[in-house]
Amino acid sequence: MRTVTARLKRWSAILPICGLLYFALGTAHSIRFNREVHNNRPSRYFYWSIIRLDSDPLNRHPISTTVPCKNAPGDCASWDPGFIWIDPGWGTQIYFWAVIPALALTAASVRGFARLGVSEVKSFFVLMPILSSLWLFLVGWLVDWFRAKRQARLLAPAR
């Protein structure tokens, strides 16, 4: 019976850890991507893979995106794209499909907090790791429970 309870906790620990590791790797990649896209200039938007997050949803602190003039006063440009086409890799797609309920709840919460003026970036980075870990823990717990139940049935003496 001890082996059944020891195995009961295997996937419920492994899946959330793997989910958090992938979220950390995706975050590191997104930070690098945003630095390259915005050329180290401040921007209102942060892209986490294909998810666009608004750091100032109520536009209380507008960021100047005007590039300083080099030659003449009319030779200036202002550019901050509202949308960027991003092709997520297969790893990100697998992660999104694995945590789709957590992603949906996070998206709804982030949009709700944005209406109150809370930065979508901050609320996403607080909610997504927590909700995805909880979801993956639940999935792992169910896998462990079904495996333990099946193994107990196989080890039970025949009547």
Q: DSSP character for 39?
A: T
Tokens representing residue 133 in the block: 């870990």
Give me the chain's average pLDDT, please. 83
pLDDT in tens, 33-56: 888 887 777 788 888 988 989 988
Tokens representing residue 15 in the block: 């899946």
| Residues 43, 65 contacting (CB under 8 angstroms) | yes
Residue 67 pLDDT more than 70?
Answer: no
Predicted confidence at residue 95, as pLDDT, reads: 93
Q: State the Cα–Cα distance between residues 65 and 120, nearest whole angstrom.
A: 20
Which secondary structure element, helix H or strand E, spans residue 135, and what is its range? helix 120-155
Residues of the chain with pLDDT > 90: what percent? 47
State the total domains in the chain: 1
Q: Report CA-CA distances (Å) from 154 to 3, 6, 137, 151.
A: 13, 17, 25, 5
Boundaries of domain holding 30: 2-155
pLDDT in tens, 81-114: 666 777 778 888 999 999 999 999 999 999 999 9
Q: State the Cα–Cα distance between residues 57 and 110, nearest whole angstrom.
A: 11
Q: Report CA-CA distances (Å) from 25 to 119, 122, 154.
A: 22, 18, 40
Residue 8 pLDDT more than 70?
Answer: no
Q: State the Cα–Cα distance between residues 125 and 12, nearest whole angstrom.
A: 22
Residues of the chain with pLDDT > 70: what percent? 80
| Residues 94, 26 contacting (CB under 8 angstroms) | no
Q: What band does 20 get if pLDDT is binned at 50, 70 and 90?
A: very high
Q: State the Cα–Cα distance between residues 10 and 127, nearest whole angstrom.
A: 25
